């Protein structure tokens, strides 16, 4: 017998999930209708997909806070299928695609979809966004969209010259409200698309009676178009099914990962999410509905509205079903130009400047552009294939791009080999080695991160041949056992910086745009970029003894300036305070053996609140080993929580956090285990960085570290 929800769960659903479901329901109605219209599908099919996506994917999926339904990312695909096969056959293709998704989830290979290059994924979304925007611009102007991007662009000048009266006013007003509403403080929690559609519909009902409006059937259930077998070659049908399945899967998985980042207590099971999405698509197609995916617009709204469990997504689907059956006539008051205006903005937002800047910094912009243009001009499958081919070519090029130089000085030839040397670079290597005169003295300096067997054989064959012709070869003379000094390291970096030099040149020209402020200890064993797997330009870093953040007004000008500059000028999205095991500052504070009157004694006075906090705490257990932390490590963990509190003594931090622009994160790095832990504000205080925090937060086992009395 299934267990009934506990009173605490019912309280969570009523207080958090119910209000959130109503907000998502209100935004889902106009989006579902608009996407159906843009796809050439019956409007009722969009609503069917919204209901099934909410209830089925919400109940079975692996991302509890994700909301599913018809998505803008599949608009181009569905429109092409409707043109090629007709709507009834497209519904059958959707049903078959759902079965494929279930198989992907059951076989646990669904997460491989995330192996796609981010440049290809974001380029695909950008190409879809541009196509949707140009297509819906025709509808906003009161006309009719063409079948392809090129046709829409060619027809746009004539459309601009044509007067369409009230439809143009409706579309422009909708776009203006969608763009302006989020800028209004305090009331921006109400979704902008909902406000725009309701306001414009009310105006049109009074002053614009001649605009084209939503047309729904009088009897929705009787008007559903059930699936029929597609007519076409087996290759065409299989290609259509796989395209829908793969695009829907990738979009759903990317959305699930994004939702995890929006809500730190949420961690998705991606294989289960594919099973839930597949079940939703199978049922939606069987009922004559559109394809279903996880939708980041609705999901982010769900999180922002305060949802805590999957009940919110399920209830939003039930509200849509009840509204369509009981009050469908109200939907027929909505002007089509209003829905087009919402989709126009939605399409443009798929082209994100932040993604472009990031990909440019990592030298992936060409893949992004080629994918986007290919999707927009040639079609989704063709564009993604072009992007994947280019991404693979670039990987092969980098593998083949080891730097091989040969220079002569005082009769001695020095061959320097750097980078990744595999069989693809052997031809260039051999040409360089054969340019060295016979009988010469040669030193080979190998500084490579990978050397495959073909490259090794090429070097060894040349070495034996050169010695046979009277020459001498010494391999890696620089690694003869002497200790490398700092200056030697600097020289080696400069000599081997070819791979990173273009990135640093761009950073020098563009300036820094880090997303994170990382505050950590000056301990030489702590390497922030290694812990976070980041590179140049990713982090703004502050290091001091004990990773301390003295409260505002403590005459710590250097730390104050760094925090204010990071938040107010650089606009970082998160501040991380990272403590660590075996911290010398914590040990010194506990032992109280710091020389009196020294600068160190003055600085470590800022640790006194952390000492009081650590005394008040129960034992802290390492989540991996189950071993109780030592007193010094316990103090180090408590110290992280205190520094997070101290950060909020800065007005700029409090304001940015209250507005949702800034997140404060506590980390604790176990040096011996090479593992990072998240510092929580309640027991067990430490968790592995990948653990689900929702279970811990909902347990209510202890008070927060940050709120425990510090006077004890």
Contact yes or no for 189/50 (Cβ under 8 A): no
CATH class, range 511-707: alpha beta
Q: Show contacts of 242-246: CB within 8 Å, 24+ apart.
A: 242/97, 242/100, 243/77, 243/380, 243/381, 244/74, 244/77, 244/81, 244/93, 244/94, 244/97, 244/281, 244/291, 245/97, 245/98, 245/100, 245/101, 245/104, 245/278, 245/281, 246/113
pLDDT, residue 417, reads 85
DSSP 507-531: HHHH----SEEEEEE--TT--HHHH
pLDDT, residue 617, reads 87
Torsion of CA 468, 471, 473, 478, to 10 degrees: 180
| Percent of residues, the chain, with pLDDT higher than 70 | 87
The better pLDDT of the pair 311, 694 is held by 311
- Average pLDDT of every residue of the chain: 82
Its pTM surpasses 0.85: no
pLDDT, residue 263, reads 63
Q: What is the mean pLDDT of residues 251-256?
A: 81
Q: pLDDT of 196-224, one tens digit each?
A: 888 888 888 888 777 777 777 777 777 78
pLDDT, residue 110, reads 59
Model confidence at 282, in pLDDT bands (50, 70, 90)?
very high
Q: pLDDT of 529-569, one tens digit each?
A: 888 878 888 899 999 999 999 998 887 788 999 999 999 99
Model confidence at 233, in pLDDT bands (50, 70, 90)?
very high
DSSP secondary-structure letter at 573?
S
pLDDT, residue 281, reads 96
Q: What is the mean pLDDT of residues 471-492?
A: 62
Is pLDDT at 710 greater than 80 in this prediction?
no
Q: What is the mean pLDDT of residues 505-523?
A: 86
Which run of H or E residues covers position 373?
helix 365-377
pLDDT, residue 491, reads 62
Residue ranges of the chain that CATH labels 3.40.1050.10: 511-707
Q: What is the mean pLDDT of residues 92-100?
A: 96
Structure tokens at 336: 């089509």
Q: pLDDT of 327-370, one tens digit each?
A: 777 777 888 788 788 778 877 877 888 778 878 877 788 999 99
Residue ranges of the chain that CATH labels 3.30.750.24: 403-478
Cα angle vertex 667, ends 693, 118, to 5°?
75
CATH number belonging to domain 403-478: 3.30.750.24
Distance CA 609, CA 168 (A): 63
Q: What is the mean pLDDT of residues 5-18?
A: 76
Q: pLDDT of 580-618, one tens digit each?
A: 999 999 998 888 778 888 888 889 999 999 999 998 888
């Amino acid at each position: 017998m299934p267990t009934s929800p506990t009173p605490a769960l019912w309280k969570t659903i009523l207080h958090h999930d119910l209000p959130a479901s109503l907000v998502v329901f209100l935004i889902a109605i106009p989006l579902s209708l608009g996407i159906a219209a843009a796809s050439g599908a019956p409007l009722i099919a969009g609503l069917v997909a919204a209901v099934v996506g909410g209830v089925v994917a919400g109940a079975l999926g692996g991302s509890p806070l994700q909301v599913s339904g018809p998505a803008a990312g599949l608009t181009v695909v569905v429109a092409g299928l409707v043109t090629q096969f007709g709507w009834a056959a497209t519904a059958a293709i959707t049903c078959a695609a759902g079965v494929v998704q279930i198989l992907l989830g059951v076989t646990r290979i669904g997460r491989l979809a995330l192996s796609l290059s981010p440049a290809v994924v974001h380029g695909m979304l950008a190409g879809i966004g541009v196509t949707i925007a140009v297509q819906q611009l025709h509808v906003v102007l009161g006309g009719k969209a063409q079948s392809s991007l090129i046709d829409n662009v060619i027809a746009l000048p004539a459309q601009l010259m044509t007067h369409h009266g009230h439809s143009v006013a409706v579309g422009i007003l909708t776009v203006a409200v969608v763009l302006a509403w989020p800028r209004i403080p305090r009331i921006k929690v109400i979704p902008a698309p909902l406000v725009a559609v309701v306001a414009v519909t009310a105006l049109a009902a009074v002053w614009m009676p001649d605009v084209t409006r939503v047309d729904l059937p009088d009897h929705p259930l009787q008007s559903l178009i059930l699936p029929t077998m597609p007519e076409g070659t087996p290759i065409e049908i299989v290609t259509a099914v796989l395209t829908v399945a793969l695009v829907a899967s990738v979009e759903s998985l990317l959305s699930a990962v994004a939702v995890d980042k929006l809500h730190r207590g949420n961690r998705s099971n991606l294989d289960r999410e594919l099973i839930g999405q597949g079940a939703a698509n199978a049922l939606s197609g069987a009922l004559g509905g559109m394809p279903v995916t996880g939708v980041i617009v609705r999901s982010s709204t769900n999180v922002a509205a305060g949802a805590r469990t999957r009940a919110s997504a399920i209830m939003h689907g039930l509200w849509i079903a009840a509204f369509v059956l009981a009050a469908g006539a109200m939907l027929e008051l909505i002007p089509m130009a209003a829905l087009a205006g919402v989709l126009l903005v939605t399409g443009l937002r798929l082209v994100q400047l932040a993604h472009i800047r990031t990909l440019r910094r990592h030298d992936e912009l060409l893949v992004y552009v080629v994918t986007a243009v290919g999707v927009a001009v040639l079609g989704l499958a063709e564009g993604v294939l072009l992007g994947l081919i280019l991404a693979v070519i670039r990987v092969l090029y980098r593998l083949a791009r080891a730097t091989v130089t040969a220079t002569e000085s005082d009769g001695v030839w020095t061959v320097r080999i750097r980078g990744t040397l595999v069989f693809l670079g052997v031809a260039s290597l051999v040409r360089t080695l054969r340019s060295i005169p016979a009988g010469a003295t040669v030193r080979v300096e190998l500084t490579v991160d990978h050397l495959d067997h073909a490259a090794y054989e090429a070097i060894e064959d040349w070495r034996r041949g050169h010695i046979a012709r009277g020459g001498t070869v010494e391999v890696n003379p620089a690694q003869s056992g002497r200790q490398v000094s700092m200056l030697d390291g600097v020289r080696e970096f400069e000599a081997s910086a070819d791979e990173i030099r273009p990135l640093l040149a761009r950073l020098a020209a563009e300036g820094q745009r880090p997303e994170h402020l990382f505050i950590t200890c000056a301990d030489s064993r702590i390497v922030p970029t290694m812990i976070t797997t980041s590179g140049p330009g990713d982090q703004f870093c502050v290091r001091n003894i004990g990773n301390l953040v003295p409260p505002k007004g403590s005459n710590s000008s250097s730390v104050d300036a760094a925090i204010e500059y990071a938040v107010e000028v650089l606009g970082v999205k998160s501040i991380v305070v990272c403590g660590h095991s075996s911290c010398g500052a914590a040990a010194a504070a506990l032992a109280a053996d710091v020389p009196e009157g020294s600068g160190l004694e003055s600085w470590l006075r800022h640790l006194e609140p952390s000492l009081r906090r650590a005394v008040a705490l129960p034992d802290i257990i390492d989540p991996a080993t189950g071993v109780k932390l030592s007193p010094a490590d316990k103090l180090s963990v408590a110290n992280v929580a205190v520094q997070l509190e101290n950060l909020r003594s800065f007005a700029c931090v409090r304001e940015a956090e209250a507005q949702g622009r800034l997140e404060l994160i506590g980390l604790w790095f176990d040096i011996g285990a090479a593992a990072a832990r998240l510092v929580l504000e309640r027991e067990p205080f430490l968790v592995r960085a990948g653990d689900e925090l929702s279970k811990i937060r909902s347990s209510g086992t202890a008070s927060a570290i940050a709120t425990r009395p510090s006077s004890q």
